[in-house]
Amino acid sequence: MVDLSMDVFGVEFQNPVMLASGTCGYGEEYADLIAVDELGGIVTKAVTPEARAGNPPVRITETPGGMINAIGLANVGLEGFKREKLPWLRDNLRRAHVLVNVAGWSVDDFVKVVAGLDEQDGFLGYEINVSCPNVEGGTMFGTDELALAQLVGALRAATQRPLVIKLTPNVADIGLFAQICEDNGADGLSAINTFPGMVIDVEARRPVIGNVTGGISGPAIRPMGVYATWKVASRVELPVIGIGGICNARDTLEYILAGAALVQIGTAMFVDPYTAPETIEGLREICARQGVDKLAHLVGALEA
């Protein structure tokens, strides 16, 4: 039997496959389609201090090799999350680990969410979104070295739970920003968030997305995500969660070989909600065929 487990953040993940923030709601939305508790885990939709309606429509459309979205961090807010969403996670996910995605526009915003959740049960830790390209100021912390250092340091002082920083690819040296996170107390890194993009309706001569621009995701960005994961894993000792364009087991193994201990599947779940469980089964099949008895042995095993 192939062992797909990964020991990360002081706990065992039964497999490396997680659902990405913003693509799986708060977990319950997929519960009638797949066995969510059979996954490695999920990352919730972003939580901000106050509820947000998000950007005006159109907020999502297909692009060649993926999609573009500008949801605008629509969410139920801190108190709504505790009241409406966290109880389901607590009561239904026994083996799949939960990271709560946290967003904000100031250090105080991020700290308020973390401090407001830290005494609650039902989740493992936090994924800190410093890299959303779909709202004004959404990448401020992710592209400013000093601001990022201050934010990570403040959050480290606010919690002992695992603290994972979601990096933006829109910097000259992603390894440098990974190093800043490590130096200031982060426990892990997610690489990467979406790339900014734009789609124009040439008949109407208007942007398709109501926000004008949005974030590009899907298979088109997978090579960049794998590259970023490799750069980050080569720079720091922290565990890396690989994100971007994963559609199957082979895609997942690209990230793992590049240095990721875990991965997140997002856009593919809109196309086929069975992508995540099928990816887990595909990992077993490939490892068995290659004679790999423990998947963790392949983390960073790229022969370059």
Handedness of CA 240, 241, 242, 243 (dihedral sign): negative
| CB-CB neighbours of 213 under 10 Å | 15
Cα atoms in the 13 Å half-sphere on the side-chain side of 178: 24
CB-based contact 138:102 (threshold 8 Å): no
Question: Is residue 76 within 8 Å of 52, Cβ to Cβ?
Answer: no
**Can 132 be counted among the known catalytic residues?**
yes
Tokens of 259: 């240095």
**Tokens standing for 214?**
């949005």
Catalytic residue among 132, 181, 247, 287: 132
Peptide bond into 286 cis (omega under 30): no
Find the Cα–Cα–Cα–Cα dihedral 105, 107, 110, 114, rounded to 10°.
-170
The rounded distance, in Å, linking the Cα atoms of 298 and 281 is 17
Tokens linked to 34: 């797949």
- Measured CA to CA, the distance from residue 210 to residue 224 in angstroms comes to 26
Other CB atoms within a 10 A radius of the CB of residue 60 amount to 15
SS3 3: strand
- Written as six digits, the tokens of 248 are 């199957």
Which helix (H) or strand (E) segment is 129 a member of? strand 125-129
Active site residues: 132
